[in-house]
A and B are shown apart, each in its own frame.
Chain A
Amino acid sequence: MKVRVLVTLKNGVLDPQGRAIHHALEGLGFAGVNDVRAGRVIELDVADSTSDEALDDMCRKLLANLVIENYRIEKAA
């Protein structure tokens, strides 16, 4: 089973990398970009029997730092 974990910074957490990307986009002449937030995509290939709880546990224990990040788990159809 292919699983995709999207890790994003929580609202209110300053994102210096997103800001630098935003600045670079403006430097390239792209207008109308209101905000940029950078995150991370982690693709897992796991046994079909892997439970939702186990996936959640993986995110909480390692893949995301819940002090600053949120995560979302997407399973490929």
Chain B
Amino acid sequence: MAFTSAVITFPGSNCDRDMAVAIEQVCGGTVHRVWHGDADLPDGLDFIALPGGFSYGDYLRSGAMAARSPVMQAVVRAAERGVAVLGVCNGFQVLTEAGLLPGALMRNAGIRFVCRDVALTVENAQSLFTAGYASGQQITIPVAHHDGNYFADDATLDRIEGEGRVAFRYAEPVNGSARNIAGVLNDRGNVLGMMPHPERMIEAAHGGADGRALFESVVRGLVNA
């Protein structure tokens, strides 16, 4: 079975090409590029990626406009059917705004835009997206965001922690995120949102390849399952 994926581009996305290249190089198969105004997704998708950037200029709230775009209605339906969906950075913000993931991403607690490599701990190494890592493994992945401060009420935080839905945690505080949460899974485990950029760490020339295992996990989980 050939791996079929789509990278969604919103006006203001700027990591869509990096995401497509990472998927092409690590997962192979066919990578469709889909525009935000498209009401339908290509047939037979295994995997959808929402890239980083500043969709719609971050107007209203980061990800708010993109979450209401035509293509996102189709992405929500696909996610409900069980298609794997990864949202990175602005893509994570879009997923929370679309209601596919709990919580919200607020302005960084330190106000500043944070752009640097950060250490992450893999909290759940059993998910579709993280099976290629070891539980508790420390990896280095870059972040570049202004609104990465993850917020959810305590009951929600307790629930997602208890259900193993915190995929990644910052090894030390980066942006004020509740419980240092860097990446969250949905209850079914087929949707992951994360602020760090795994697509920017897939080969030695990037300064490291710690992001590779995420894409390897997805293709292994979906194609060789």
Contacts and interface: CB of A to CB of B under 8 A. Distances in A.
B116 to A, nearest CB: 19
From DSSP, what is the main secondary structure of chain A's interface residues? helix
Interface centre among A14, A16, A20, A61 (most CB of B within 10 A): A16
Contacts of B103: 67
B104 A17 contact: no
B107 A16 contact: yes
Interface in B58-113: 60-61, 64, 68, 96-97, 102-104, 106-111
Given A67-B152, A68-B151, A62 B60 contact: yes
Given A65-B61, A65-B64, A68-B104, A16 B151 contact: no
A38 to B, nearest CB: 10
Contacts of B108: 16
Nearest to B63: A65
A13 interface: yes
B93 to A, nearest CB: 10
A67 B60 CA distance: 15
Nearest to A64: B61
Nearest to B175: A16
Contacts of B106: 13-14, 16, 68
B68 A67 contact: no
B140 interface: no
B107 A67 contact: no
A72 B82 CA distance: 37
Given A16-B149, A62-B60, A67 B111 contact: no
Interface centre among B68, B107, B108 (most CB of A within 10 A): B107
Contact of B151 (A17, A20, A61, A67): A67
Interface in A37-69: 61-63, 65, 67-68
Contacts of A63: 60
6 contacts: A16-B109, A16-B110, A16-B111, A62-B68, A67-B96, A67-B102
Interface of B: 60-61, 64, 68, 96-97, 102-104, 106-111, 149, 151-152, 176
Given A14-B109, A65-B97, A65-B104, 15 more contacts: A13-B106, A14-B149, A14-B151, A14-B176, A16-B107, A16-B109, A16-B110, A16-B149, A17-B107, A20-B111, A62-B60, A63-B60, A65-B61, A67-B104, A68-B151
